[in-house]
Amino acid sequence: MMSNGLFITLEGIEGSGKTSHAAMLAERLRAQGRPVLLTHEPGATRAGQAIRAIFLDPAVSLQVVAELLLVLADRAQHVAETLKPALARGEIVISDRYADSTTAYQGYGRGFDLKLLGELNRLAADHLFPDLTILLDCAVETGLARTRLRTNAGDRGPDRFEGADLDFHRRVRNGFLTLAKNDAARVRVVNSERSREEVFADIMRLVDELVRQRWR
């Protein structure tokens, strides 16, 4: 990748712990005095917020191709407005979800042709791919139970994906694991079925290794 910064993505099924651990990682790196941009998909830009509202609304029914094009439009804006400028400034960019989510959800989950999806992903990403992807892996039942707890506590209503059946979420999880198997140097699997502290220790080991390699 042509930049001075580092691009790290966190991926996984719903409730796998991406959002909490992305925040912990940003905090730890900032405490080390490093410049960090913490961001997410979908919805990190102005256009992205409007796209996210449609994308996640459980009352909105979307064709698979419409769902795919929405998330790719969000990505194109995110890459151009947020990710590339931050990397050019030399920052460590941490994104809670990115292109692998599209492959896992719209490809493996919804069944969109993987080859064409790969090409469209490259178009939307403008050839920007992560230096390191941390795949937080847990059983679908564990992830959904965690998000259900949050929904029951009234923190957030269920989104369009939370209503999908268990088989859909299993296909997504297996899709992520296939991606990791096919690109083992970039995509590192961390078992998130353990305590937050144990999960975070593994994440920090991987990030420290990357930082050492790049900025010795």
Under the criterion CB under 6 A, does residue 71 sit at the interface with ligand Z5A? yes
According to the binding rule CB under 6 A, does residue 3 interact with ligand Z5A?
no
By the 8 A CB rule, do 146 and 161 touch? no
- Which residue in the set 26, 79, 92, 97 belongs to the binding site for ligand Z5A (CB under 6 A)? 97
* 46 forms part of the interface with ligand Z5A (CB under 6 A): no
CA–CA separation, 160 and 169 (whole Å): 12
76/89 with CB nearer ligand Z5A: 76
User: Using the rule CB under 6 A, is 105 a contact of ligand Z5A?
Assistant: yes
What's the CA gap between 146 and 88, in Å, rounded? 36
* Distance separating alpha carbons of residues 203 and 51, to the nearest angstrom: 30
Q: Are 203 and 21 in contact (CB under 8 A)?
A: yes
CB of 74 to ligand Z5A, least distance (A): 7
Please identify which residue in 3, 16, 77, 82 interacts with ligand Z5A, judged by CB under 6 A. Answer: 16
Min dist CB 63 to ligand Z5A, Å, is: 14
Residue closer to ligand Z5A by CB (options 88, 149) is 149
Residue 175 lies near ligand Z5A (rule: CB under 6 A)? no
- CA distances to 111, 195, 197, 201, 214 from 43, rounded to whole Å, are 23, 29, 28, 28, 29
Which stretch, 123-131, 183-191, 194-202, 203-211, contacts ligand Z5A (CB under 6 A)? 194-202
Q: Which stretch binds ligand Z5A (CB under 6 A): 18-26, 78-86, 174-182, 205-213?
A: 18-26
- The span from the CA of 64 to the CA of 71, in Å, is 11
Does 128 sit near ligand Z5A (CB under 6 A)? no
Spatial distance between the Cα atoms of 179 and 25, rounded to a whole number of angstroms: 23
Under rule CB under 6 A, residue 147 binds ligand Z5A: yes
Residues ≥6 apart with Cβ < 8 Å to 150: 156
Q: Rank residues 89 and 156 by Cβ distance to ligand Z5A and give the closer one.
A: 156
Identity of the amino acid at 170: R
Please provide the DSSP assignment of 151-190 as one string. HHTTSS---TTTTS-HHHHHHHHHHHHHHHHHTTTTEEEE
Under rule CB under 6 A, residue 174 binds ligand Z5A = no
Which residue ranges make up the site for ligand Z5A (CB under 6 A)?
12, 14-20, 41-42, 71, 97, 101-102, 105-106, 146-147, 150, 159, 161, 192, 195-196, 199
